[in-house]
Amino acid sequence: MAAIHSRRSWTVPETAATPEGAYLERRRLIQGAGLAALAACLPGRHARAEENDPSADLYPAPRNPAFVLDRDITPEDVNATYNNFYEFGSHKQISDEARRLKTRPWEIAFDGLVEKPFVIAIDELLAAMPLEERLYRHRCVEAWSMTVPWTGFALSRLLERARPLASARYVRFETFHDPDMGRAQRQTWYPWPYVEGLTMAEAANELAFMVTGAYGKPMVNQFGAPLRLAVPWKYGFKSIKSIRRVSFTETRPVSFWEEIAPSEYGFWANVNPSVPHPRWSQETERVLHTHERVPTILFNGYGDQVAHLYAGMEAEQLYM
């Protein structure tokens, strides 16, 4: 991610930044002679996290055929070793560090404008929700993209359970704040914890998905276990990971990236190839596993489902 000009390498777009170079270099190394053994053990190492997961029996969940795609699924090992999760470091290779994320016990608090605030343990929530698999596109604001088989449940189901008041206009999500676990949270210049938000209408949209698993298993830590959001028509930073708190508010929440750089990362952040980021074009995206550049599509291809949410809102900065 890129934010403030005066700060180190993460100030440049992903396509020009060192992490991609480091990633390619690492894959070359792994593929190289003598290191084949390392490559062979990588998937196992990343799979280990979910072995003891108490929800493992819930997977795989049936695939919902309404959410299939025209693109190949990003291979799991590629996706699981190229992540944005700033709590564990401001680069893409955080998967090892993310093993420090302790996903049990894990409670999620519901508060703000609700009939009655409550806290629920993740396994109780999982038992109450009908899990399904959906193939989703994901477009990062840094202009790379991937395709993932997420497992989870519609955010609208969670809203039913939370019982927000009619006065609620926004839903605000908050990640953990624990600098012993997410050691990059010791970087005090970031406005921790990571926060994101949606309007109630966006949250109620069929596409808004609460993710609990990926690739037919409980999610590995680096994907944002045990509960993350997926709003595939918006830039990836809206899809907040490792959610601990869900609040209903009357005023618009200020999200993590909006707080850091409001002229670059807004509240709406809907994907639009014809609205450039202030420092780079959004016309194309790099497909994570093929390295191919392909055109970016308005609302990341989900316009039929979501364009109506923004009718008459031209005065808003809908696309950044």
Ligand X SMILES: Nc1nc2c(c(=O)[nH]1)N[C@H]1C(S)=C(S)[C@@H](COP(=O)(O)O)O[C@H]1N2
Does 319 participate in binding ligand X (rule CB under 6 A)?
Answer: no
Does 255 participate in binding ligand X (rule CB under 6 A)?
Answer: no
Out of 125, 240, 246, 309, the only residue in the binding site for ligand X (CB under 6 A) is: 240
Give the interface segment with Mo ion, choosing from 43-51, 135-143, 207-215, 220-228 (CB under 5 A). 135-143
* Cβ atoms 88, 97 nearer than 8 A: yes
List beta partners, residue 120. 108
Does 101 participate in binding ligand X (rule CB under 6 A)?
Answer: no
For the window 160-199, what string marks contact with ligand X as x by the rule CB under 6 A?
---------------x------------------x-----
Instruction: Report the partner that residue 209 touches, choosing among Mo ion, ligand X, none (CB closer than 5 to 8 A by kind).
Output: none
Does 236 participate in binding Mo ion (rule CB under 5 A)?
Answer: yes
Does 236 participate in binding ligand X (rule CB under 6 A)?
Answer: yes
Give the interface segment with Mo ion, choosing from 109-117, 186-194, 204-212, 229-237 (CB under 5 A). 229-237
Does 239 participate in binding ligand X (rule CB under 6 A)?
Answer: yes
Three-state SS for 291? coil
| Ranges within 80-99 binding Mo ion (CB under 5 A) | 84
For the window 198-227, what string marks contact with ligand X as x by the rule CB under 6 A?
-------------------------xx---
For the window 188-227, what string marks contact with Mo ion as x by the rule CB under 5 A?
----------------------------------------
Instruction: Considering the complex, state which of residue 67 and residue 235 has its C-beta at the smaller distance from ligand X.
Output: 235
What are the phi and psi torsion angles at 38 (to 5°)? Answer: -60, -45
Determine whether 44 is exposed, middle or buried from the number of CB atoms within 10 Å of its CB (0-12, 13-18, 19+): exposed
**C-alpha dist (Å) from residue 97 to 41, 100, 186, 237:** 17, 6, 14, 20
Residue 38, H or E segment: helix 36-47
Please give the size of the binding site for Mo ion, defined by CB under 5 A: 4
Does 84 participate in binding ligand X (rule CB under 6 A)?
Answer: yes
Give the whole-angstrom CA distance, residue 307 versus residue 167: 24
Among 139, 158, 159, 155, residue whose Cα is nearest residue 147: 139
Instruction: Report the partner that residue 270 touches, choosing among ligand X, Mo ion, none (CB closer than 5 to 8 A by kind).
Output: none
Asked, as a colleague might, if the bond just before 226 is cis with ω within 30 of 0, I would say yes
Does 237 participate in binding Mo ion (rule CB under 5 A)?
Answer: yes
| Ranges within 109-148 binding ligand X (CB under 6 A) | 140
Give the whole-angstrom CA distance, residue 185 versus residue 156: 31
> Token digits for 238?
């809206």
Give the whole-angstrom CA distance, residue 235 versus residue 27: 26
DSSP designation for 292: -
Does 1 participate in binding ligand X (rule CB under 6 A)?
Answer: yes
**C-alpha dist (Å) from residue 73 to 42, 145, 158, 195, 208:** 19, 11, 27, 28, 20
Out of 237, 299, 310, 319, the only residue in the binding site for ligand X (CB under 6 A) is: 237
Residues that bind ligand X (CB under 6 A): 1, 83-87, 140, 175, 194, 223-224, 236-237, 239-242
Residues that bind Mo ion (CB under 5 A): 84, 140, 236-237
